[in-house]
Amino acid sequence: MVEQSDVSGLRGLRVCMVAPYLPKRGGVTIQAHLMVDGLESAGARVFRVDTILHKLDRSWLKPLRVLLQPLFVAVRFLRTAPKCDVVHVHACSWWGFVPVLVCAPINRLFFRKRFIISYHGGLGHVFLARWAWLVVPFLKMADRIVVVSARLKNVFSEYGIESEVLRNLVDLQRFRFRKRERLQPNIVWIRRFEDVYDPMTALRVFEKVKAGILEATITFIGDGELRADMEKYIEQRGLTGVRFTGRLPNENVPDEFDKADVFLNTSRNDGLPTALLEASASGLPIVTTDAGGIPDMIENGKDGIIVPVGDVDALAREVISLLEDPERAAAIGESARRNAEKYGWDQCAKQLAKLYGRSK
């Protein structure tokens, strides 16, 4: 649970929250659940519209899901929206934008509720470059639009869309801080095993780290289509010290972070990733690429270390540098925790009250 809040502007408000919910995994799901928890702690009543057909959430069922998901979202929204004062839709690029395509025109035609869009897509620049002709008219149906980074705000402005930055949330109570005064060479990586998050680069980085620090280990949290390629690489290169946890329940992730001493992120594109906020809250010194909105959330050299996307040598060099300088690593970890505290519920609550028209 997020910390309690007494934001009076939210008390008694009825919010229709359109988003993917558990057991669906991912950053947008985590953000939706944290926001629901926070709103309810502030006295609002939240009505959930799940955008996922969980029983059909399998790759081989994708054609059927593509046909049925918009219909089910529409039905769920039609049933729920009349009960609410405000509609808040969480969306991202590509298929993740369907909830806006479905709910925005329904709201415009039938309900005229205050309509908020939270856009999470790290690939917003690519998505809009291709699909602006379709999505911009639907975005303009919103009363307010929020994005996760200043970079996305700039992208939206290029297409005549006004937006504001609403920082992602992190559960500061669940991710406990540990000062890393005595470092062990234990690295942790967490995301889906997909090209956009580039776990193969993480393996190559670890191989270089391992060449200089034989006792080094890396834990991969997650799963995905590249798992087989990763295992093949490990076997071919004779790598040891690699551990796969598979997909973990959210409540188990803090324990894995607590065991680690360096957090590695290798994404090629990103928004404002929840995983980095959670690592920061845990006091993990972070080595990451400069993908997407990451430079907006981490001050390089202070809250973490940022290198260019795909630069295996630089990533490995910085990981080794931290492991060889525990004092610097501890200082970065402490600064990371202070940075994460800016992403707590209280600040978000004040901004949501304004977005929902409950305060000035």
Residue 312: give the domain boundaries: 186-342
| 3-state helix/strand/coil string of 242-272 | EEEEECCCHHHHHHHHHHCCEEEECCCCCCC
What phi, psi does 353 have (nearest 5°)? -60, -40
Question: Angle, nearest 10°, between helix axes 326-340 and 312-323?
Answer: 100
- The answer to pTM > 0.85 is no
CA distance 213 to 224: 28
Residue type, 117: I
41 shares a domain with 61? yes
Residues 238-258 have a mean pLDDT of 92
Residue owning tokens 């995983």: 275
* pLDDT single digits (tens) 256-312: 999 999 999 999 988 778 899 999 999 999 999 999 889 988 999 999 999 999 999
For residues 261 and 185, the answer to whether their CB atoms sit within 8 Å is yes
Query: What local confidence, expressed as pLDDT, does residue 218 receive?
Result: 97
Q: Are residues 199 and 130 in the same domain?
A: no
Q: Are residues 156 and 211 in the same domain?
A: no
Provide the token pair at 34: 């944290």
pLDDT, greater one: 49 or 64: 49
Confidence of residue 57 (pLDDT cuts 50, 70, 90): low
Same domain membership, residue 150 and residue 191: no
pLDDT for res 272: 78
Which residues are registered as beta bridge partners of 264? 287
pLDDT per residue as tens digits for the range 107-153? 999 999 999 999 987 778 888 989 989 999 999 999 999 998 888 89
Q: How confident is the model at residue 163 (pLDDT cuts 50, 70, 90)?
A: very high
Do 139 and 263 lie in one domain? The reply is no
CATH of the domain at 112: 3.40.50.2000
Decide if 237 is inside a domain.
Answer: yes
Shared domain for 207 and 250, answered yes or no, is: yes
Domain presence at residue 131: yes
CA 20 to chain centre: 13
- Give CA–CA dist 33/23, Å, rounded: 11
- 149 and 289 fall within a common domain: no
Q: Looking at the structure, do residues 349 and 255 belong to the same domain, yes or no?
A: no
- Interatomic CA distance for residues 199 and 190, integer angstroms: 9
> Is 3 contained in some domain?
no
b/e per residue, 193-226, with b = 16+ CB within 10 A?
beeebbbbbbbbbbbbbbeeeeebbbbbbbeeeb
Asked if residue 225 is part of any domain, the answer here is: yes
Pair 161, 88 in one domain: yes
In the predicted model, what is the mean pLDDT of residues 27-54?
A: 89
Instruction: Retrieve residue 37's tokens.
Output: 């928890």
163: in domain: yes
- With a pLDDT cut of 90, the percent of the chain lying above it is 65
Q: Are residues 219 and 137 in the same domain?
A: no
H helix intervals, the chain? 27-41, 62-80, 98-106, 124-139, 150-158, 199-212, 227-237, 253-259, 274-281, 294-297, 312-323, 326-340, 345-355
What the block records as the tokens of 80 is: 């729920």
pLDDT at 7: 58
pLDDT digits (tens, 9 = 90+) for 174-187: 898 999 888 899 99
Tally of domains in the chain: 2
26 and 66 in a single domain? The answer is yes
Q: Quickly state the pLDDT bin for 70 (edges 50, 70, 90).
A: confident
pLDDT in tens, 3-23: 444 456 889 999 999 999 876
CB proximity list for 182: less than 8 A, separation 6 or greater: 326
235 and 334 housed in the same domain: yes
